[in-house]
Amino acid sequence: MTRALYYEDGTRLTFESVVQEVSGSEIALEATAFYPEGGGQNGDAGRLSWAEETATVLDTRKDKATGLIWHRLEGTLPPVGTQVSGEVDAARRWRQMQRHSGEHLLAQAFKRVSPAFSVAAVGMRNPECTLDLEGDPAEIHVQAAETLLRETLGRTDLTLETPTVSEDDLHLYAPRRETKVRGQVRLVIFRDEAGDAFDVSACGGLHVPRASLAAPVVILRTERIRAGLTRVVFMAGEEAGEYLTRVYRDARALAQGFSVPVDRLPERVAALNTERDALKAEAAALREALAATLVGAAPVEIVNGLPVRCVTLDDLALLLPTLNAVPVGEVLLALAPGGRCGMATPREEVNAGVVLGTVLRATGGKGGGKPAIAQGTTPQPDGFFAAVKDALSVLIFQPVPESQPEAHLEYAHAFDSSAAPASGPDKTEIVKAEIVSMLKPTPSNEA
């Protein structure tokens, strides 16, 4: 069993010890200040040195059965019996202690805001720590807990005590959460100068010796996990300070770009949003006007008795406004960059979705849409207008009864390219046959 120096003094980060066992890339020491991973807290890292040698400690873990604490090393391993000097990575350890202390203190602050906010789970392995709370805390409660803790840490010197007590005496300390630990229980208490405990938890982790060393504790956001369970994401200590400083620096740079103080950024952004919405509306109106002009300038061709216009666009954003500008009684075909294409018609007897979809499938593209307007992509933009006009030329205008819409679907499916037999009828014939059968249903007379 390894002697746990970290429990004797959580701030002692250097020590001397002797190698007790070696196994693979791990060594166990007689005593260590390296905290082993556990209780949601990461294991310590650092260095071991002996004679002329130094090895990096990557991680630390405890074997519960033997009580040995194993240090995973990178580099040469010292043999059993070697006297070694250990040095725990201070930055990693202090941040762990700040996170863990912040977790206890914030949980207590929530409990003081409302006893309903009890802790279901915690996470402290990353700078963004989590506290999963029952009782659905709202934004007002989140702010209240954060404020309560900020005022407590700023005005009260809470010091750490870690007594080990018998489970029979636990009720004397009234820990914040029930513990499953039996027998001897290690308590983590933050107590004020008057002797009143701010928080009492049964916990085997490491904490800062004074609660104010975990400040600031800031809540970044909340996430609803499910009904009745809310995740509070927070940062504590140096990590919180670094984060807030970085965010403020970015905000200041942004504010300078807008020539306003940081405090007025929200106002400035709201004004920009309003301006953007107005410009969007103006651009949409201009596109509509341009589309109508382009459509009006395109010549009308008669195909199978249908007046057809073809419009080639140099801007994809004009595709939909152009299709929407289809003149009454006409068929409009539009082609935009990248093979993006569309067809629109207000005529009841021509189904744009079916005609366009069929033509595109036959030419290796894809698309479709509603009877009045359809869009897609063609790999053969040069032949797009001709292919659709070919398809229109074979349309037979006999309304299909509305009561049998399933027949259309089955027919379309039968001629899906993947389902078509390898040696079937000529593809052009298939397209024609399919289109002929795909006329719009007669409009309903119901109001």
Instruction: State yes or no: residue 46 binds Zn ion (CB under 5 A).
Output: no
Helix, strand, or coil here: 270?
A: helix
DSSP state at residue 363? T
- Closest approach, Cβ 41 to Zn ion, in A, equals 8
Please list the residues that pair with 201 across neighbouring strands. 188
Q: Say if CB 18 and CB 48 are below 8 A apart.
A: no
Total residues interacting with Zn ion, rule: CB under 5 A: 2
Place of tokens 């005590």: 161
Return the range that interacts with Zn ion (CB under 5 A); candidates 83-91, 205-213, 214-222, 365-373.
205-213
Partners of 331 in the β-ladder: 308
Contacts of 269 by beta carbon, 8 Å cutoff, 6+ apart = none
133 binds Zn ion (CB under 5 A): no
Given 203, 310, 318, 320, the residue binding Zn ion (CB under 5 A): 203
From the CB of 198, what's the least distance to Zn ion, in Å? Answer: 14
Complex with Zn ion: residue 33 or 203, whichever CB lies closer: 203
236 binds Zn ion per the rule CB under 5 A: no
Q: How far is the CB of 128 from Zn ion (least distance, A)?
A: 17
Run of H or E residues at 36? none
CA–CA distances in Å: residue 35 to residues 32, 102, 369: 8, 18, 63
13/129 with CB nearer Zn ion: 129
Q: How far is the CB of 205 from Zn ion (least distance, A)?
A: 4
Residue carrying the six token digits 């070919």:
390
Report d(CA 185, CA 178) in Å as an integer: 11
Q: How far is the CB of 14 from Zn ion (least distance, A)?
A: 25
Q: Which is nearer to Zn ion, 205 or 342 (CB)?
A: 205
Q: State the DSSP code for 40.
A: T
Which range of residues in 146-154, 197-205, 208-216, 428-436 is near Zn ion by CB under 5 A? 197-205
Instruction: Compute the least distance from the CB of residue 223 to Zn ion, in Å.
Output: 21
Q: Are 131 and 234 in contact (CB under 8 A)?
A: yes
Whether a cis peptide bond, with omega within 30° of 0, leads into 78 is no
Binding window for Zn ion (CB under 5 A); candidates: 62-70, 195-203, 251-259, 280-288: 195-203
205 vs 376 by CB, closer to Zn ion? 205
Residue 185 interacting with Zn ion (CB under 5 A): no
Query: Which of residues 38 and 346 has its CB atom nearest to Zn ion in the complex?
Result: 38
The region of 12-20, 199-207, 221-229, 423-431 touching Zn ion under the rule CB under 5 A is 199-207
Select from 139-147, 169-177, 198-206, 339-347 the region that touches Zn ion (CB under 5 A): 198-206
- The interaxial angle of helices 405-414 and 352-362, nearest 10 deg, is 10
Q: Which is nearer to Zn ion, 17 or 108 (CB)?
A: 108
105 or 323: CB nearest Zn ion: 105
Contact (CB, 8 A) for 114 and 74: no
Q: Can residue 102 be called a binding residue for Zn ion (CB under 5 A)?
A: no
Residue span binding Zn ion (CB under 5 A) among the ranges 62-70, 204-212, 310-318, 388-396: 204-212
Q: What is the three-class DSSP state of 71?
A: strand
**CB-side exposure of 177: number of CA atoms within 13 Å?**
21
**160 membership: H or E segment, kind and range:** strand 159-161
237 lines the binding site for Zn ion (CB under 5 A): no
In sequence order, what DSSP letters do the residues of 278-347 get, joined into one string? HHHHHHHHHHHHHHHHHHHHSPEEEETTEEEEEEE-S-GGGHHHHHHTPPTT-EEEEE-GGGEEEEE---
Site string for Zn ion, 15-34 (x = CB under 5 A): --------------------
Please give the radius of gyration of the chain, using alpha carbons only, rounded to the nearest integer: 36
Query: Which residue, judged by CB position, is nearest to Zn ion in the bound state?
Result: 203
- Provide the minimum distance between the beta carbon of 207 and Zn ion in the complex, in angstroms, as a whole number: 7
Q: Does the footprint of Zn ion cover residue 205 (CB under 5 A)?
A: yes
Residues of the shown chain interacting with Zn ion in the complex, contacts defined by CB under 5 A = 203, 205
